Structure 1
Amino acid sequence: MTERLAIRRATPDDVAATWRWRRLPEVGEWITSAPTDYATYRARFVDPARLALTLVVELDGEPIGDLMVKVEDGWAQAEVADQGRAVQAEIGWTLDPAFGGQGYATEAVRGTIGMAFEQLGLRRVHAGCFAANVASWRLMERLGMRREELSRKTGLHRSGEWLDGMDYALLAEDWQG
């Protein structure tokens, strides 16, 4: 929960609501997988492995966005590998453009980062985007995430063009919830 939003685990019943914004060209421009038909989207969304990573953002009980939280192992040398297990998370987000410009994405991602550090006890959160996705990297910077990488032509966009990528992260010790 945040001041204005509820954040909860996704269920198969969320397919139609999330399809509403994920099918839009302006959303599909930046997300990893942008299926063009409902049946394909539904099959991917309800996959148990995917559902386990997905959260839904609600405003007054209505879904307006979704989040991905993927708990991961940190890199560790062999002798301390056990200490590096499940200590960080990759996060991602989409928001229905109809709700853009009102701070909802920032609030939802802030709440997710807080959950990762405060409830899950993780040490690090990271996210990546195409450098051309200005709204995404600006959101990360607003939340205090540090740019760790700007890579040249590292990601192949569905347009067929290789685009620059950016990776950001935040450590629990730097979090100011």
Structure 2
Amino acid sequence: MLRPEYPILTERLTLRPFAERDLDDLHALTGDPEVVRYLYWEVHTPEETRESLRRRMAQDAITEEGQWLVLAMDLDRRVIGQVVLKWASRVHRQGELGFVMHPAFQGKGYAREAAEAMLRLGFEGLGLHRVYGACDTRNEPSWRLLSRLGMRREAHFVEDELFKGEFGDQYIYAILDREWRTRQETSSR
């Protein structure tokens, strides 16, 4: 079980549960075709974003296997993205990491800050053994970020699923708890 103390502060961001006031910022994400290009949903209408916000607001803790922790990346009271952690398996102590960024804030290290905080929650808070991330092979910024986080590419699935009307390829990246701890020790020196 994982119930973080909020807010979670990184160098420049505040990670926190979504709130009603985030509707416009969330719609800037969910309503942008470039943002949702490699995601499993289509561009949202304002009504769909409102429903999506309601679901996200309830995803502020992980109490059982299969649940997602979904946090807003808040920069000066503006939501610029979201970061997620799924408790994928209790028995195998597996988790899944994900992130979505507004295009205006990509390439500035914000997603990395948020993802590092989520890895810490997964390994220290939830006691995970392995955290993985999956992304479309065409989504180079995402797989490069997973690599910068110390995750290794473990798989390249070729046309493994029908995605938005066509078969797509997918990369799987992962990091083990011992690898993550070694990185933390090395970076603190």
Task: Output the TM-score relative to the length of structure 2.
Answer: 0.79
The 2-side partners of 1:10 and 1:133 are apart by: 25
Equivalent residue, structure 1, for 2:142: 136
Equivalent residue, structure 2, for 1:33: 41
8 Å Cα contact 1:44/1:50 also seen in 2: no
Equivalent residue, structure 1, for 2:159: 153
- Displacement, 1:169? 0.9
- Displacement, 1:48? 6.7
SS where residue 31 of structure 1 aligns? coil
- Deviation string for 1:109-151 (max 9, x for gaps)? 1121122112322221111011111111111011110111101
8 Å Cα contact 2:123/2:129 also seen in 1: yes
8 Å Cα contact 1:154/1:165 also seen in 2: yes
SS where residue 117 of structure 2 aligns? helix
8 Å Cα contact 1:123/1:171 also seen in 2: yes
Q: What code does the residue aligned with 1:113 have? A: L
Percent same amino acid at aligned positions?
Answer: 34
The 2-side partners of 1:147 and 1:170 are apart by: 9
The structure-2 alpha-carbon separation of the partners of 1:34 and 1:12, relative to structure 1 and needing over 3 Å to count, comes to farther
- Deviation string for 1:16-56 (max 9, x for gaps)? 32111221111110111124311122223313796343111
The 2-side partners of 1:152 and 1:57 are apart by: 32
For these two proteins, the number of residue pairs brought into alignment is 166
8 Å Cα contact 1:11/1:51 also seen in 2: no
Structure 1 portions without partners, runs of 5+? 75-83
Equivalent residue, structure 1, for 2:89: 73
Equivalent residue, structure 1, for 2:27: 19
SS where residue 33 of structure 1 aligns? coil
Equivalent residue, structure 2, for 1:77: none
SS where residue 108 of structure 1 aligns? helix
Equivalent residue, structure 2, for 1:61: 77
Equivalent residue, structure 1, for 2:179: 174
Match of 1:3 among 1, 6, 11: 11
Equivalent residue, structure 2, for 1:104: 110
Task: Output the TM-score relative to the length of structure 1.
Answer: 0.84
Equivalent residue, structure 2, for 1:119: 125
Equivalent residue, structure 1, for 2:3: none
Q: CA RMSD in A?
A: 1.9
